[in-house]
Each structure stands twice: as C-alpha cells, then as structure tokens.
Chain A
Amino acid sequence: MSVKDQVIAIIAEQALLDPQDVTLDSTLESLGIDSMGVVESIFAIEEAFDITVPFNANAPQESDFDITSVASIIDGIERLRVQQAPA
C-alpha cells in the first residue's frame, strides 16, 4: 500500500468513514476528528511508518508536522522518513 493509501486508511478509521470518502484535501477538522482523534491518528502513523512525529497537542501549529490535511500529513511523513532513515 502506498503512503497515501495507508494514511487515508488511518484517517478514515479514526473518522469512522469509508476510505473513498477521504481525499487528499480533506482536513481532519472537516472529517470530524477531535483532539483525541488527532493524537490517536499520529500514534497510528508512527506505528505504521516506524517514525517519531514531533507533535505537541498544546501547540499543534508550532509542531514541525502539519496535520491540517491528508496531503500535508503525507508530506510530513515523507520528510520524516528521509530524516529518520537508519544510517
């Protein structure tokens, strides 16, 4: 499964939606994912991609990981996978 499909599957599960109803420009807010859902989604992403996502629920806008939309999450994952790739 591609990164995109995996992320969509994770987000869809949190939002209790069919993956087909989640698109690249869906925002977590528009999908009805609350703050606990965000934290759970990030955990699922860390587990799925074996990365550590720098995210603090107190200051999401200052975290170096944009969780606004599915597309921004995918970008963030791609970047972290490069940064955190084992030497």
Chain B
Amino acid sequence: MKRVVITGAGTVNPLGHSVAETCAAMRDGFCGIGPLEIRDVDRLQIRIGGQVKGFEAEGRFTRQQITLYDRFTQFTLVAAREAIAQSGLTFEGKLAARAGVVLGTAGGGVSTWDDNYRAVYAEGKNRVHPFVVPRLMNNAAAAHVSMEWNLKGPSYSVSSACASSNHAMAQAAMMIRSGMAPAMVTGGSESMLCFGGVKAWEGLRVMSRDACRPFSANRDGMVQGEGAGIFVFEEYEHARARGAEILCEVAGFAMSSDASDIVMPSREGAARAMAGALADARLDSADVGYINAHGTGTAANDKTECAAVADVFGAHAERLMISSTKSMHGHLIGGTGAVELLACIMALRDGVIAPTIGYEQPDPDCALDVVPNVARDANVTVALSNAFAFGGMNAVIALRKI
C-alpha cells in the first residue's frame, strides 16, 4: 500500500483568498461572518453568513468563462491554481493520463439554479441561457479543473452534504494508496449563499441569527459560509523523488453511516468514523493532539460530537485540543472539510491551533479543551478532521506530520 502526502494547498473562503491569508486569519481569531449582501435579503429571517468578499468574477475570468462558471466553480479554479502552483507539478504525458480530480460539493451551482428559476417563474421569461446545465451541474468544478490542468485520469464529484469534501479526499487518497493514480487534485467547494439557498436552510430552524458559537452553552445554531479548499494529494515516493515540499501525510481515513436519522447526529456513528480513521492510520488515540471538529454550533451536533470524542479517546479526550473553525468561516457545507483541513495542516506545520471563537459560556455537555477564542501554540504530530453530514454520513481524515 502506498503512502499519501499533501504537496499543495489552495483556498478561497470568508477568511481569505489564499492559504496564507486564511491561516493568518485563523491565528488572529478573525470572524469572517457578517451581514449577508445578497438579493432579496430583506425577505430572509436569517441575514448573516460567511460570504467571500472582494471576489469579483470580472477581471479574474473572461466573459466566455464567466458564462460557464458558477461561483462554486470560480472558487474552485482559483484555489486549484494556488494548490497546483505550490505542488510544482506539471501534468503531462503519463502523469497527466493517470492523475485526476475528485471534488466534493453538496449543491453544485445553486446560484445558477436560483437565478434561472427566478427568471422563468418570477419574471415570467420563457428562455434561459444555453449554458445553464453545464454551469449548475455538480461535476462542473471538477471538470473545469481537469480541463485547465490537463488532468486525464479519474475525475468526478462526490456529494454527501456536509461531509462531501472529506468523502472526496478519502476517495482521492484511496486512489493513490492503491497505485491507481500518482497524484490527485481533491477537496471541495460550495456556494449557496443566495436567496433560495439561505431560504431552504432557514426552513429547518437550525440557523443562528447572530453568530456561530460552537460548544458554547448559549450556542443557537449554525451559520452558513461559502468557498473552496483544494489540495494536491501525491504518492509519497513520487513526491520525494522530485524533491517536493511535503505539507503533511494523509495517514488514514474512515467513513461510516449512522443508518438512523436523516438529520439528527449519532454519537455511535461519529465515534466509529474517528476510531476507524485512527485504526486505518495505525495510530494510537493518544497520538492525536488536535481535532478540527465538525462543530456546527447546533445544540445537537456539538454535544453529540463531544460525547463521541470521549468514547473514542477516553482519558486522552481531556488532554487533546478540539476547535471549530466554523465559528470564523461558517459552515461551508460540501466544501467545509476541505477548508477545515487547512487548520489541521497549520497545527502540524506551524504548531498553531486555530481557536473556537465566539465562545462565551462553558457547556457541561461539551467539557473538552475547545481552544476558546484565542489561538494557541502547541506541538502536534497527528490531527483529525471530522465531518458528520445530514443523512448520517460521516468521514474523518487523519493527518500526520512528516
């Protein structure tokens, strides 16, 4: 079985338009959540979100590209450019033939659906732009990455709601482990901060009107964000042979299904995914120094997740650090695991643990070291990234310092 390492990372999210900006913001405990600036916001009850600011398609892309790129694709392409540039890989010949791109997204081109439904239903138009379908399809972002970078191996999109990008990255890692591909571009993207997207979430009554406060006793729900996180996963010997800078190792991963409820989380399912990732990586639970929590800020998730951590880690649960960066960037849904993996990489490489901001009141049901409000310096050799989706679909990734 081959080893998998990360040799490139890129992102666009509410905390920054690059990995460096994002990590600096996480270190500073910066909050990227604010008033939503979208059409018809006055008809929404939920009016905050983690929007990517200062990101205009005009100037970044040509007019022809803009007609084909939904916002989730735009984020993906900019993040992929950063990741692939950092990796130093050039995809040609045999490498290009075998390398592919597997990306997570829950909704794909939600704004494209929204805009065009508005046009035909609300505005009574009987004609839409010819590229609506190629723009909104879930695999559009993966497709454009493959085209821009000449990736001719296995490419597709994965959709498992809030665990989409962790499932995608697990898939990519499996392909490298098995020898199917020497390198894969992977991660995920989401952009559903439009009227219809927020309205749908609003209906579920789980959104906070003012802030995302994971693990805090006064938390009152999630806040939605948008953005992308993209990585280059590479076979270890392949990376070493070309002298690539290795950010960390993808030591293991596991996926589990609760098989119980469409929206309520399961302690047992979450615990099996974390324990599974450790077993897959052949790590002891005491090796884990940091967990990037799913930590949505809902009453149910945070308490269930903390109970699952206690089940898996026993006494060590009291010693490890667990934080939710969703407090800063919001819940990026299908892209969230990818952006949150950056916090794990920062912990391993820079020895900086991103905080859980907005933490105001201890909750006895979340009595772990949640790194409240202020980043911390710490030496960590193994980090876990949790994603527990609606549908009871869980995916956990274990990263190791190298």
Contacts and interface: CB of A to CB of B under 8 A. Distances in A.
A59 B220 contact: yes
A52 B44 CA distance: 12
B264 A58 contact: no
Most buried by B among A55, A56, A62: A56
B220 A36 contact: no
B205 A55 contact: yes
Contacts of B219: 58
A12 to B, nearest CB: 21
A42 B204 CA distance: 11
Given A35-B264, A36-B263, A58 B299 contact: yes
Nearest to B45: A52
Nearest to B219: A58
A57 B206 contact: yes
Interface string A43-86: 10000000010011111001000000000000000000000000
Given A35-B264, A36-B263, A62-B220, A57 B205 contact: yes
A39 B204 contact: yes
Contacts of A39: 204-205
Contacts of A43: 203
Contacts of B208: 56, 58
Interface residues of A, number: 12
Q: Main SS of the interface on chain B?
A: loop
A51 to B, nearest CB: 13
Given A56-B221, A58-B219, A59-B299, A42 B205 contact: yes
A21 to B, nearest CB: 26
B206 A58 contact: yes
Nearest to A54: B45
Nearest to A62: B220
A16 B298 CA distance: 28
A79 B299 CA distance: 27
Contacts of B209: 56
A56 B207 CA distance: 7
A6 to B, nearest CB: 21
A62 B298 CA distance: 14
Contacts of B206: 56-58
Given A39-B205, A43-B203, A52-B45, A58 B298 contact: yes
Contacts of B45: 52
Contacts of A58: 206, 208, 219-221, 298-300
Contacts of B204: 39, 57
B205 to A, nearest CB: 4
Contacts of B205: 39, 42, 55-57
Nearest to A53: B205
Contacts of B264: 35
Nearest to B302: A58
Q: Which 3 A-B pairs rank lowest in CB-CB distance, beginning with the nearest?
A: A58-B299, A57-B205, A58-B221
21 contacts: A35-B264, A36-B262, A36-B263, A42-B205, A52-B45, A55-B205, A56-B205, A56-B206, A56-B207, A56-B209, A56-B220, A56-B221, A57-B204, A57-B221, A57-B298, A58-B206, A58-B208, A58-B219, A58-B220, A58-B298, A58-B299
Interface of A: 35-36, 39, 42-43, 52, 55-59, 62
Given A36-B263, A43-B203, 6 more contacts: A35-B264, A39-B205, A58-B206, A58-B220, A58-B221, A58-B299
Interface of B: 45, 203-209, 219-221, 262-264, 298-300
